[in-house]
């Protein structure tokens, strides 16, 4: 794989919204912690006292049956949903009340379970948009005179987008409209967009869904590169258990809104509680879509 300094900001400038509390994404990546998170929807506890820590440079899997609370935890971590109880910490600083925009500008990125590309933009433009928040430099007047600094910044961003697309095996699609892409390629573009501006922490919600085996290998390589070479902490939700076990050093299992188990891939796979709640046994036939694939048999949705 080509060496790509994914944590070098495209134009070398710090984020406009700098804070003395949390370092910007251009600094060393920070750890992310969910501490005693509870989220209720009416009578349902989607998350019940969940604690989870993601270290810089770690790829951690988050697995569990449908409705276990995985996406709800992502919503809390990324600031879309305020928890009823508990705190979110980035680099040791309490960010529970920070907005999603603030978190993104400080290096937290996520992809969504449902595809969220800008379909009417090209693939390359999807990545350029992700860098736009750093400012255009000079506005309309600079546009008119095409100020050299503006041109240089634009060039750096295009170079960055091209490098990320190459890293993700997408360079041949740069000029294609995102709306027309096969689902596996679209998933990869979502990942590329999430890292177009250098990330500190990456939350991936079912990134491999709809991918071919070849695309999954590519995804594995990109995720491992981000973690191993760039120190990015990656939290990865997936029902493809074989993929999770391959790419993740540590796995956390959620069930009915609680942490059921946590450990290495091998420890989690061998845990009888996990097998009962989620993995089933290899002899079981698939029972529903959205259940785990690649190892064992899926479990039905569990009632609370």
CB of 70 to Mg ion, least distance (A): 5
- Distance, in Å, from the CA atom of 212 to the CA atom of 234, rounded to the nearest integer, reads 21
113 binds ligand ATP (CB under 6 A): yes
Provide the residue count of the chain: 304
Round to whole Å and give the CA distance between 273 and 263. 13
Contact partners, residue 244, CB within 8 Å, separation at least 6: 61, 63, 236, 238, 251, 265
Q: Which two tokens stand for residue 37?
A: 């998170």
Strands 201-205 and 233-237: parallel
Three-state SS for 197?
coil
Choose between 37 and 46: whose C-beta lies nearer to ligand ATP: 46
Residue 64 has phi, psi (to 5 degrees) of: 155, 165
139 binds ligand ATP (CB under 6 A): no
286 is an interface residue for ligand ATP by CB under 6 A: no
Residue 68 interacting with ligand ATP (CB under 6 A): yes
71 binds ligand ATP (CB under 6 A): yes
Q: Smallest distance from the beta carbon of 42 to ligand ATP, in angstroms?
A: 7
Least distance from C-beta 1 to Mg ion, angstroms? 29
Question: In whole angstroms, how close is the CB of 67 to ligand ATP at the nearest point?
Answer: 4
Minimum CB distance to Mg ion, residue 287 (Å):
18
User: Near Mg ion by CB under 5 A, which window of 79-87, 108-116, 264-272, 281-289?
Assistant: 108-116
Of Mg ion, ligand ATP, none, which one sits near residue 23, judging by CB under 5 to 8 A according to partner kind?
Answer: none
Using the rule CB under 5 A, is 78 a contact of Mg ion? no
Distant-in-sequence, close-in-space partners of 56: CB < 8 Å, separation ≥ 6: 28, 29, 30, 31, 200, 231, 232, 233
In the three-class reduction of DSSP (H, G, I as helix; E, B as strand; rest coil), residue 62 is classed as strand
Nearer to ligand ATP, 43 or 175 (CB): 43
User: What does the binding site for ligand ATP look like in residue numbers (CB under 6 A)?
Assistant: 41, 44, 46, 64, 66-72, 113, 290
């Amino acid at each position: 794989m080509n060496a790509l300094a994914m944590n070098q900001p495209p134009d070398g400038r710090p984020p406009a919204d700098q804070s003395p509390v949390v370092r910007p994404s251009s600094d060393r990546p920070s750890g992310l912690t969910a501490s005693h998170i509870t989220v209720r929807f009416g009578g349902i506890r989607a998350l019940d006292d969940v604690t989870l820590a993601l270290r810089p440079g770690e790829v951690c899997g988050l697995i569990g049956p449908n409705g276990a609370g995985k996406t709800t935890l992502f919503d809390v971590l990324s600031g879309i949903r305020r928890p009823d109880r508990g705190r979110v910490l980035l680099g040791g600083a309490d960010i529970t009340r920070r907005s999603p925009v603030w978190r993104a500008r400080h290096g937290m990125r996520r992809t969504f379970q449902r595809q969220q590309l800008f379909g009417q933009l090209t693939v390359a433009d999807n990545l350029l948009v992700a860098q736009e928040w750093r400012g255009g430099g000079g506005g309309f007047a600079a546009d008119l005179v095409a100020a050299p600094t503006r041109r240089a910044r634009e060039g750096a961003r295009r170079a960055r987008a091209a490098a990320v697309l190459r890293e993700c095996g997408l360079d041949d699609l740069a000029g294609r409209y995102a709306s027309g892409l096969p689902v596996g390629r679209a998933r990869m573009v979502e990942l590329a967009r999430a890292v177009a501006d250098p990330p500190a922490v990456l939350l991936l919600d079912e990134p491999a869904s709809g991918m071919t085996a070849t695309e999954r290998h590519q995804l594995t390589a990109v995720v491992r590169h981000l973690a191993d070479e760039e120190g990015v902490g990656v939290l990865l939700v997936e029902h493809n258990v074989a993929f999770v076990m391959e790419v993740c050093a540590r796995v956390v299992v959620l069930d009915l809104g609680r942490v059921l188990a946590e450990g290495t891939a091998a420890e989690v796979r061998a845990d009888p509680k996990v097998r009962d709640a989620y993995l089933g046994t290899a002899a079981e036939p698939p029972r529903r879509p959205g259940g785990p694939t690649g190892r064992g048999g899926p479990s039905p949705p569990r009632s609370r």
